Structure 1
Amino acid sequence: MATNLFEPTIPDLAIVGGGLAGGLVALAVTRARPALSLVLIEAGDSFGGNHRWSWFEGDLEAEAEALLDCFPLTVWRGGYTVRFPGFARRLPASYRSLASCDFDASLRRLLPQQAIRTGSRAIALDATGVTLESGERIAARAVIDCRDFKPSAYLTGGWQLFAGRHIRTDAPHGLAEPIIMDADLPQHDAYRFVYSLPLFADEVFVEDTYYADTPVLDLAVLGRRVAAYAEARGWTGETVGAEAGLLPVLTGGDFVRHRESQAMHGVALAGARGLFSHPLTSYTLPFAAETALAVARAMPIPGADLAALLDARAAKHWRATRFYRLLGKMLFQAAEAEARWRIFARFYRLPAPLIARFYAGRSTPADMARVLIGRPPVPISRGVAALLGKGAPLVQGSRT
């Protein structure tokens, strides 16, 4: 039978959502299976949005580290600092950071040009393709949904709110290493800390973060607090970039009912929408890299089989991260908001290797026991009530 040379090729994979999870899937599949065709569909004008992702070097296995090394990274090899009222500590772990503008530029360089579809909002996904807001239909042999987390009444927890500024300072800022957590600050009815990264001698990134009960992001208030923090340290100058966001901190819920509420038959779920995150820190990068590599190893694969593969991985991840959801319950339901910093201050007195495994989501049973033993930083009665309680549903947040 003759082949119609004008018949469009159906992509082997359509990836909806060009954020961290979707971009890494596209890159991993392109590197591992260059003969396959794919399309990366993003509603915005650029991949990755307006974010900065950071992680500890030990968070990634070698293969995942090699995948991230495709991007231009800022690396600090000396160590980092944390600060709390009456206590500060320097830890030796190397730290890495990736700006979304570099993520976008690298994907545009590394992916086939026909794979890039920005400014294309998807309104419907199914096992055979994607329908765009414009009415265009993109057929595909497999579809994976990598869009942002979708609030759910079947999940419980709190929220991580943040607002950051990239400042080009009038004079060298003098900060040599990252300050990952400075909580020696007014808490404002949440667990609040400021995160500072020295990007260049005269450029610093400063982000104000809150573990809050309610998902209200007041950009004006947070912006003023970031500016005040920077000015108090002499970091004045031109703001060359800004970001803000709202992330879920998972403490529990009904995993099966949540997945059923999100499911589209034959469509795979990944990224934060697929619950591939660290429940307590809300980190997604290590899990996004691992998922991307798993998809690349499995391709080519029918869409239904890809959906089943990622469903199984998500269920395994949910079981493996139960300990972190338990700690999140203690944070939000047992600790008074103004005293939540005490939980983290106690945690940061523990051995450095334990802290490293915690952030990587690879805590051992001995680590878990070590975190829990000793005098609890919350009243015992409130701790028991927290463990027995259901928690607040993760419903839609807002921004003002």
Structure 2
Amino acid sequence: MHANTCDLAILGGGLSGGIVALALAARRQNLRIMVIEREDRLGGDHVWSFFESDIPAAGLPLLEPVIAARWNGYSVHFPGHSRSLATPYCSVTSDRLDAAVRAALPPDCVLNGTQVIEATPTSVTLGDGRTIAAGGVIDARGITGMPHMAGGWQKFMGQSLRLSAPHGLERPVVMDARVEQLDGYRFVYCLPFTETDIFVEDTYYADSPDLDRPVLRRRIADYAAQQSWQVEAVSYEETGVLPVIAAGDFNAYWQQGAGGPARAGARAALVHPLTSYSLPDAVRFALHLTSLDNLSGAGLEGASHAWAADHWRRGRFYRMLSRMLFGAAAPEARWRVLERFYRLPAPLIERFYAGRSTIPDRVRILAGKPPVPIGSAIATLAGGGRPLADLGLEKGHEE
């Protein structure tokens, strides 16, 4: 096959694009797959994490090469409640993703530092003037907003800290909400990679996507000092602004890219509406693609639309919870919603994060005295409550 032709071109070498490439390279070895990424390496500078219960059994071997750390459980902390859960927790890093995709594909099939000028279902025009002719194209590039969607934002800054002495954590702290509540629901997230290397992320469920990096750096430093950690160096830093989807018009959103290639990741709205996590859905969609007989441009576009539309329908319950969080809870009191949630049974929590809540789970989540004012809850469900942010007008996602 000619260097400028392939069976499948994947636009974007971030999490979703990388996982699609790994899945197809492993299960459809007869295909020539190309990954086109504008940055110098795949995945950027990111840490992505997931609960093992989020991932279908067939997907765990696919992720094994990109997992940088695995822990047998995690902890959460709230002002009046702490809990440890036994669900295995894993983290994926950009370095691992970059290495795994390069190992899976021929060197000439990973195009870094390459800008995409135009994409159709069967071709890609690059910034250097080349045109890639493809049997099919999947657009997995990050997006800067989600038109026709409303809700709020999960935004964060994470730093990898090297300490002069052991931090003392044996498992991740997925939520530490004992910190001062600022700019919505605030919590700190900690991943202990080694005894003296820890990733600390300051996270907010906020009404605005604005990030004040100097302020967030100071807050991370303050948190480390409160734990009596002596920081020798900050190895790297990342930031993100993710959409929390509370409402929207999926058909109008999809129509924005009508006539273009198939879509994956956030571009296809394949994210958990409340947690904003995309890794579990990226794995499920990638496995689905490996089962398709028709990988033509039109076939892929139709398959991605059908998959995304079904995901949207199944996310209705989680969008309702997002409306309650942003529309009914006062920003400084949003932590109470999560504290109540973390008093529920562990299997229910696992199914919630996996986007697989059963009808009894949903009843249990909604039963009892709500952690928000009843009047505000009723008003929000009726279309009132606090106004939701327009996710199409702000900076909405960093892949």
Same fold by TM-score greater than 0.5:
yes
**Among candidates 82, 86, 95, match of residue 88 of structure 1:** 82
Which amino acid in 1 is paired with 2:126? L
Check whether the contact 1:29–1:299 (CA below 8 A) recurs between aligned residues. no
| Whole-angstrom CA distance in 1 between matches of 2:106 and 2:173 | 38
**What is the aligned counterpart of 2:170 among 157, 162, 176?**
176
How far apart are the structure 2 equivalents of 1:392 and 1:241? 31
Letter in 1 for 2:31: L
1:250 aligns with 2:245: yes
Once residues 340 and 51 of structure 2 are traced to their aligned partners in structure 1, the CA distance between those partners, rounded to angstroms, is 20
SS at match of 1:308: helix
Q: Is the 8 A contact 1:24 1:292 kept in 2?
A: yes
- Establish whether residue 25 from structure 1 lines up as the match of residue 23 from structure 2: no
* Paired AA for residue 26 in structure 2: R
1:305 aligns with 2:299: yes
The RMSD of aligned alpha carbons is 1.5
Unaligned runs of 5+ in 2: none
Whole-Å Cα distance in 1 between the matches of residues 110 and 396 of structure 2?
30
Find the aligned partners of 1:103 and 1:161 in 2 and give their Cα distance. 23
Which one of 38, 47, 52 corresponds to residue 43 of structure 1?
A: 38
Aligned counterparts of 1:336 and 1:125: Cα–Cα separation in 2: 43
- Of 352, 355, 366, which residue of structure 2 is paired with 1:358? 352
**Structure 1 segments of 4+ aligned residues over 3 angstroms from their partners:** none
The letter for the 1-side match of 2:350 is: A
Tell which deviates more after alignment, 204-213 or 167-176: 167-176
Code of the residue aligned with 1:261 in structure 2: it is: Q
**Quick one: which amino acid aligns to residue 41 of structure 1?**
I
1:142 equivalenced with 2:157 (yes/no): no
Hey, what's the Cα distance between the residues in 2 that align with 1:107 and 1:82?
33
CA distance in 2 between partners of 1:301 and 1:355 (Å): 36
Per the alignment, residue 363 of structure 2 pairs with: 369
**Shift, 1:200, TM fit:** 0.4
- The residue type equivalent to 2:75 in the other structure is T
Per mean C-alpha deviation after superposition, the further-off stretch among 7-16 and 361-370 is: 7-16
Letter in 2 for 1:328: S
Residue 394 of structure 2: aligned partner: 396
Q: C-alpha separation between the residues in 2 aligned to 1:336 and 1:37?
A: 52
Q: Which amino acid aligns with 2:167?
A: H
What is the TM-score when the length of structure 2 is the normalising length?
0.95
Superposition pairs for residues 133-212 of structure 1, below 5 Å?
Answer: 133-212=127-206
Contact 2:144 2:395 in 1 (8 A): no
Alpha-carbon separation, structure 1, partners of 2:7 and 2:264? 17
Q: Deviations over 1:309-329 (max 9, x none)?
A: 110000100001110000000
- The residue correspondences of 1:212-223 to structure 2 (distance < 5 A) are 212-223=206-217
In the alignment, what sits opposite 2:328?
Answer: 334
Deviation at 1:102, TM superposition (A): 1.4
Shift of 1:360: 0.7
For the Cα contact (< 8 Å) 1:150–1:273, is it kept in 2?
A: no
Structure 2 counterpart of 1:128: 122
Task: Assess if the C-alpha contact under 8 Å between 1:217 and 1:398 holds in 2.
Answer: no
Q: 1:319 to 1:23 in 2, by over 3 A?
A: same
Q: What residue is the counterpart of 2:66 in the other structure?
A: 71
Distance 1:18 1:207, change over 3 A: same
Structure 2: which amino acid aligns with 1:245?
Answer: G
Check 1:157–1:398 CA distance in 2 against 1; reply closer, same or farther (3 A cut). Answer: closer
CA distance change for structure 1 residues 117 and 384 in 2, over 3 Å: closer, same or farther?
same
- Residues 83-134 of structure 1 show CA distances to partners (whole Å, capped at 9, x for unaligned) of 1111111111111001111111221122221210110111211122111222
1:287 to 276, 281, 298: 281
1: CA distance between counterparts of 2:122 and 2:19?
A: 22
In the alignment, structure 1 segments of 5+ residues that lack a partner are none
Alpha-carbon distance between aligned partners in 2 of 1:392 and 1:169, rounded to the nearest angstrom: 39
The aligned amino acid for 1:157 is: G
- Distance across 2 between alignment mates of 1:278 and 1:201: 32
Identity in percent: 48
2:33–2:105 contact (8 Å) kept in structure 1? no
For 1:20 and 1:368, locate their aligned partners in 2 and report how far apart those are by CA, in whole Å. 30
CA distance in 1, matches of 2:4, 2:46: 34
**Within 2, Cα distance between the matches of 1:189 and 1:206?**
18
| CA gap 1:322/1:397 in 2 versus in 1, 3 angstroms | same
Once the two structures are TM-superposed, the CA of residue 299 in structure 1 deviates from its matched residue by: 5.2
2:99 aligned residue = 105
Looking at structure 2, the residues matched to 49 and 384 of structure 1 have their Cα atoms a distance apart, in angstroms, of 42
TM-superposition CA deviations, 1:169-211 (whole Å, max 9, x none): 1111111111110001111131000000110011111000000
Contact 1:124 1:132 in 2 (8 A): yes
CA 1:53–1:247 in 2, change beyond 3 Å: closer, same or farther?
same
Q: Which residue identity lines up with residue 149 of structure 2 in the other structure?
A: L
Q: Is residue 2:55 matched to residue 1:60?
A: yes
Listed one character per residue, the Cα deviations across residues 128-151 of structure 1 (whole Å, up to 9, x for unaligned) are 211122222111110110011341
The separation in 2 between residues aligned to 1:47 and 1:225, in whole angstroms, is 29
Read off the aligned partner of 1:222 and give its amino acid letter: L
Give the CA deviation at 1:361: 0.6
Kept in 1, the 8 Å contact 2:142–2:267? The answer is yes
CA distance in 1 between counterparts of 2:293 and 2:105 reads: 16
Q: Which amino acid letter does the alignment assign opposite residue 241 of structure 1?
A: Y
Count the aligned residue pairs.
392
Once the two structures are superposed, the pairs formed by residues 225-240 of structure 1 within 5 Å of their partners are 225-235=219-229, 236-240=231-235
Residue 377 (structure 1) shift: 0.7
Any conservation in 2 of the 1:191–1:339 contact (CA below 8 Å)?
Answer: yes
